[in-house]
């Protein structure tokens, strides 16, 4: 799976933040697609939510009627229609920001200088320059946009003031923002504008005014606002207040961009005004740094804590510091610190033992880690550190193919810690490996216990399926059918739910199977989670504003307007509209992520439980003509290929992974060149892998080669993810009943879940769209 999510994490983060009512943070960037679909009026969802009360519906209708003839609404609708042809050019500019793209949008703005569409175009130009941090060039287009800005005036004003401030023109920034609250009372940019306004006041020597502006805006806390406020108090000579703010910012928000600046500001203040940090504050900072994966900084902070700690507290700090050092790849230092810790409480001793064991494992000394497990058994038999160690020991033996010892470790973990977070997984692995060793009767008992002890855990579908398979092998078709039916009803769109449907077709039960009490422990699917999309309030001012911003490819700003409109309307339609917007922009990846957040358990739901628009966004079919053509030319199911692409790139043609895999099917450049040669693709270059048709042509041919090599999709998908060498190795581990048993036996969790998810999702595609 690619790591390209950073490319759009800001937009998605904003989407998710506004869904919880946080509209404070200004956008820094928008994204676009180079080849958008033709301009159409936004679609609306027509199915009302069954749970909405008549009173609420009546209130919404009344509100909408009130807005229907609003002059502002009419103007925005006219601007939306008038700016239709801007959309593709704006997307191109926001995506590439090349001189040609700038020139195209600027020419459009000049042609429509006396129209709202022209103002939108100038806003797009200024916004794009701001993204490039070329604030001097942003000033002119934003000034031009002000003339016809209309309801986009708050955005134009904010970005213009910020551009003035960034170019050292504080007086003009102040003048631009004068009256912002009065002119734009409903704007989401009010707090952001106040931060810029206060910063400009501060630059002009008006610190008390800056303080007065920001003190009213301190909740919810924002690091940028706190930094400016602290500087205001410092400039006003109120060093103690400034120190308190900088101190809090540095120690409680260490991952913010402003934290280090706050540290610098503290150093400028008189020493008498700066309070020494408490050990508790340092611990908070160190813990947040560690959680944020800034391991070196966390280790430095723990070093400071260590120098201030008494003898009783030092061991715990040393262990935390060693953990940070190990994660920062400074294992020698970590080991030295742990070795210096004297004998302490049983809990500290156990944690220290595990920490030393982790260092051994990081150095590929698995035997050293296993010795640690023996020590923990003796010294701390009930410690959570032994629980963690047993899990890792079981995984070590699993990779060694020493299944007997792996079973012992997993079973010991589950028996010692039956209510622990790893208990269900450990019980399942012990039962599964028992099956792999051919002890079917013991495995059947283990699967029964799994269902009885952990019916709501993620291992339950596998336990149900393989228990049914064993019953089927024992010719107990009634039991097998009952278990398959439970899977089919409760986990229909899971990997094992699909397999259960297939097995039911094969065994062809003549009558309904008997009831098995064990199956009652597995709760039925909660049908109360049904989601119904409501009608889009097209005459809502914010909705129309969002559509206008969409024409300018300012998607993140549009999302904010839609989320706010939904909250004001007390409706349930924004997700569908946001997804529609991103889908039409070709950003299927963002649309998928929005819905994954909105309905995280979607794959456990029946198709009727979600609007069809949700399913089509979660399982889209972009580039379908080429995808279908190249899939079928390689004798592949197009839905399986679509599912593979969804797992690899979520249909982002510009995706690049940490390993430098490229495009829809995430091909390494080396692989792309090799397949291009096989396909006699002349003048091939790595850049062509970003072209969907080329990527699909090469990717489907490459995957077909893996299918031909292995004969089953489970093997081929595992090789696509983990490499052929690993799959060749895994296939030598005894015999498998079928490829499904191989898939469950994959020792890498990521690859196992990858294979099962793709096959599961291909089935959802078939249910949604029928024959390809």
pTM: 0.87
Region at 220 (left for phi over 0; alpha for psi -120 to 50; beta for the rest) = beta
Angle between helices 153-166 and 116-131 (to 10 degrees): 30
Residue 642 confidence (pLDDT) above 60: yes
Tell whether omega for the bond before 54 is within 30 degrees of 0, i.e. cis.
Answer: no
Q: Give tens-digit pLDDT for 37-49.
A: 333 334 444 343 4
Sign of CA dihedral 267, 268, 271, 274: negative
Residue 352 confidence (pLDDT) above 60: yes
Question: Which among 412, 593, 648, 650 is annotated as catalytic?
Answer: 648
Calpha distance 567→247 (Å, rounded):
36
Lowest mean pLDDT among 285-299, 443-457, 595-609, 734-748: 595-609
Calpha distance 203→168 (Å, rounded):
9
Sign of CA dihedral 734, 736, 739, 745: negative
pLDDT at residue 367, as a whole number: 96
- Band (pLDDT 50/70/90 cuts) for residue 50 is very low
**Residue whose tokens read 């009490």:** 517
Q: Give tens-digit pLDDT for 396-451.
A: 999 999 999 999 999 999 999 999 999 999 999 999 999 999 999 999 999 999 99
Q: How large is the average pLDDT for residues 330-339?
A: 96
- With 0-12 / 13-18 / 19 or more C-beta atoms within 10 angstroms meaning exposed / middle / buried, residue 714 is buried
Residue 691 confidence (pLDDT) above 90: yes
pLDDT at residue 550, as a whole number: 97
Who wins on pLDDT, 526 or 291? 291
- Band (pLDDT 50/70/90 cuts) for residue 607 is confident
pLDDT at residue 675, as a whole number: 97
Who wins on pLDDT, 524 or 700? 700
pLDDT at residue 97, as a whole number: 94
pLDDT at residue 509, as a whole number: 85
Calpha distance 725→729 (Å, rounded):
6
Q: Give tens-digit pLDDT for 368-394.
A: 999 999 999 999 999 999 999 999 999
Residue 662: strand pairing partners: 656, 667
- Band (pLDDT 50/70/90 cuts) for residue 286 is very high
Report the b/e string of 587-622 with b at 16+ CB within 10 A.
Answer: bbbbbbbbbeebbeebbbbeeebbbebbbebbbbbb
Q: Is 648 considered catalytic here?
A: yes
- Band (pLDDT 50/70/90 cuts) for residue 595 is very high
User: Which two structure tokens, joined as six digits, stand for 749?
Assistant: 């969790």
User: Which two structure tokens, joined as six digits, stand for 704?
Assistant: 């077909």
pLDDT at residue 17, as a whole number: 41
pLDDT at residue 601, as a whole number: 85
Q: Give tens-digit pLDDT for 192-208.
A: 999 999 999 999 999 99
Could you give the domains of the chain? 4-65+535-610 (no CATH), 624-769 (1.10.530.10)
Q: How large is the average pLDDT for residues 126-141?
A: 97
Who wins on pLDDT, 528 or 82? 82
User: Which two structure tokens, joined as six digits, stand for 58?
Assistant: 């009546």
- Band (pLDDT 50/70/90 cuts) for residue 51 is very low
Sign of CA dihedral 263, 267, 268, 272: positive
Q: Please provide the average confidence, as pLDDT, over all residues in the chain.
A: 91
SS (H, E, C) 339-402: HCCCCCCHHHHHHHHHHHHHHHHHCCCHHHHHHHHHHHHHHCCCCHHHHHHHHHHHHHHHHHCC
Q: Give tens-digit pLDDT for 522-531.
A: 998 776 567 8
- Band (pLDDT 50/70/90 cuts) for residue 70 is confident
* Cβ partners under 8 Å of residue 428, min gap 6: 450, 454, 459, 462, 463
Calpha distance 163→133 (Å, rounded):
9
Calpha distance 379→706 (Å, rounded):
50
User: Which two structure tokens, joined as six digits, stand for 420?
Assistant: 């622990």
pLDDT at residue 31, as a whole number: 34
- Band (pLDDT 50/70/90 cuts) for residue 60 is low
The percent of residues above 90 in pLDDT, for the chain, comes to: 85
Q: How large is the average pLDDT for residues 220-239?
A: 98
Q: How far is CA 514 from CA 123, 255, 480, 484, 486, in A?
A: 68, 58, 10, 12, 12
Q: Give tens-digit pLDDT for 536-549.
A: 998 899 999 999 99
- Alpha-carbon dihedral 748, 754, 755, 760, rounded to 10 degrees: 140
For 489, list phi and psi in degrees, rounded to 5.
-85, -35
pLDDT at residue 52, as a whole number: 44
Residue 670 confidence (pLDDT) above 70: yes
User: Which two structure tokens, joined as six digits, stand for 206?
Assistant: 């008006």
Residue 65 confidence (pLDDT) above 80: no
């Amino acid at each position: 799976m690619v790591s390209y999510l950073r490319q759009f994490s800001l937009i998605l983060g904003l989407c998710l933040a506004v869904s919880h009512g946080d509209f404070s943070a200004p956008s820094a960037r928008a994204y676009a697609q180079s080849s958008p679909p033709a301009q159409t009026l936004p679609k609306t969802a027509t199915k009302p939510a069954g749970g909405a009360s008549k009173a609420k519906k009546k209130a919404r209708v009344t509100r909408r009627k009130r807005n229907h003839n609003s002059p502002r609404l009419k103007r925005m609708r006219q601007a939306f229609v008038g700016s239709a042809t801007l959309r593709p050019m704006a997307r191109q500019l926001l995506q590439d920001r090349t001189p040609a793209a700038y020139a195209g949008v600027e020419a459009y703005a000049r042609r429509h200088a006396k129209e709202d569409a022209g103002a939108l175009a100038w806003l797009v130009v200024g916004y794009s320059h701001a993204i490039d941090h070329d604030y001097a060039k942003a000033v002119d287009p934003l000034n031009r946009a002000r003339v016809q800005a209309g309801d986009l005036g708050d955005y134009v004003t904010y970005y213009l003031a910020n551009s003035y401030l960034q170019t050292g023109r504080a007086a003009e920034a102040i003048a631009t923002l004068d009256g912002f609250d009065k002119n734009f009372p409903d704007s989401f940019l009010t707090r952001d504008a106040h931060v810029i306004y206060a910063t400009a006041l501060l630059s002009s020597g008006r610190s008390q005014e800056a303080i007065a502006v920001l003190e009213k805006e301190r909740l919810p806390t924002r690091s940028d606002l706190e930094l400016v406020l602290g500087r205001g108090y410092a400039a006003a000579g109120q060093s103690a207040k400034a120190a308190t703010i900088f101190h809090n910012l540095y120690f409680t928000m260490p991952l913010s961009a402003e934290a280090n600046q706050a540290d610098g500001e503290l150093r400028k203040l008189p020493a008498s005004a700066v309070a020494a940090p408490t050990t508790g504050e340092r611990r908070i900072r160190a813990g947040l740094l560690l959680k944020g994966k800034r391991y070196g900084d966390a280790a430095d902070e723990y070093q400071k804590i260590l120098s201030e700690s008494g003898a009783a507290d030092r061991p715990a700090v040393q262990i935390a510091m060693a953990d940070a050092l190990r994660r920062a790849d400074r294992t020698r230092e970590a080991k030295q610190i742990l070795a210096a810790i004297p004998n302490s409480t049983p809990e500290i001793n156990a944690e220290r033992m595990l920490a030393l064991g982790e260092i051994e494992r990081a150095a590929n000394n698995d035997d050293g880690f296993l010795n640690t497990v023996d020590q923990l058994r003796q010294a701390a038999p009930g410690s959570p550190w032994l629980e963690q160690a047993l899990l890792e020991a079981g995984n070590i033996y699993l990779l060694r193919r020493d299944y007997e010892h792996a079973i012992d470790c997993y079973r010991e973990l589950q028996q010692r810690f039956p209510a622990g977070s790893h208990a269900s997984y450990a019980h399942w692995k012990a039962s599964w490996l028992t099956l792999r060793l051919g002890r079917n009767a013991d495995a059947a008992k283990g699967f029964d216990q799994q269902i009885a002890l952990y019916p709501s855990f993620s291992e339950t579908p596998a336990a149900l399926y393989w228990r049914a398979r064993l019953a089927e092998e024992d010719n107990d078709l009634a039991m097998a059918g009952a278990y398959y039916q439970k899977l089919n009803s409760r986990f229909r769109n899971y990997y094992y739910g699909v397999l259960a449907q297939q097995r039911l077709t094969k065994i062809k039960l003549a009558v309904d199977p008997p009831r098995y009490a064990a199956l009652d422990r597995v709760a039925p699917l909660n049908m109360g989670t049904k989601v119904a999309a409501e009608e889009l309030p097209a005459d809502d001012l914010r909705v129309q504003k969002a559509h206008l911003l969409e024409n300018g490819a300012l998607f993140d700003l549009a999302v904010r307007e839609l989320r706010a409109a939904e909250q004001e309307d007390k409706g349930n339609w924004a997700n569908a509209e946001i997804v529609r917007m991103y889908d039409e922009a070709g950003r299927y990846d963002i649309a998928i992520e929005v819905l994954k957040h909105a309905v995280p358990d979607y794959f456990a739901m029946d198709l009727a439980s979600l609007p069809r628009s949700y399913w089509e966004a979660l399982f889209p079919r972009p580039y379908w003509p080429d995808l279908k053509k190249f899939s079928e030319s390689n004798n592949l199911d197009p839905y399986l290929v679509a599912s593979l692409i969804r797992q690899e790139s979520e249909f982002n043609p510009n995706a690049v992974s940490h390993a430098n895999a490229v495009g829809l099917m995430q091909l390494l450049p080396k692989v792309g060149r090799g397949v291009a040669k096989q396909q006699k693709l002349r003048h091939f270059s790595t850049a062509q892998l970003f072209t969907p048709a080329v990527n699909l042509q090469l990717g489907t041919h490459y995957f077909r080669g893996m299918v031909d090599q292995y004969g089953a999709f489970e093997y081929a998908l595992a090789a696509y993810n983990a490499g052929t060498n690993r799959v060749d190795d895994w296939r030598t581990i005894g015999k498998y009943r079928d490829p499904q048993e191989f898939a469950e036996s994959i020792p890498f969790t990521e690859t196992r879940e990858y294979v099962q998810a793709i096959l599961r999702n291909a089935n959802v595609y078939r249910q949604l769209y029928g024959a390809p």
